[in-house]
Amino acid sequence: MSLTAYVFHVAGIRILGIEELPGSPLYVLVGFVVAVTVFATVWSRFFGRGPLERLLGNATKIARFVK
């Protein structure tokens, strides 16, 4: 889930437009941590691997056949 969590943070910062701020307010940072933790916990309970980890794993399966 680490790749998915990282991309979620980067996308959230971009969508909210807070990359221009000199420092994010504490409630924004806590919100990111809580949202990612809840998402990762729920996702892991039902699906195991994260969505981006699964996508990357499927995309690189062809590497098994390269010698």
| Digit-coded pLDDT (tens) for 5-52 | 899 888 888 887 776 666 667 888 888 889 889 988 998 899 888 899
1 near 56, Cβ under 8 Å? no
- Number of Cβ atoms within 10 Å of the Cβ of 50: 21
Q: Which of 31, 39, 37 is nearest to 13 (CA)?
A: 31
Q: pLDDT tens, 51-62?
A: 999 999 988 888
Q: Which amino acid is at 4?
A: T
pTM: 0.69
Its sign, for the CA torsion 42, 44, 47, 52, is positive
Burial (0-12, 13-18, 19+ Cβ within 10 Å), 45: exposed
Find the domain containing 14 and state its range.
2-65
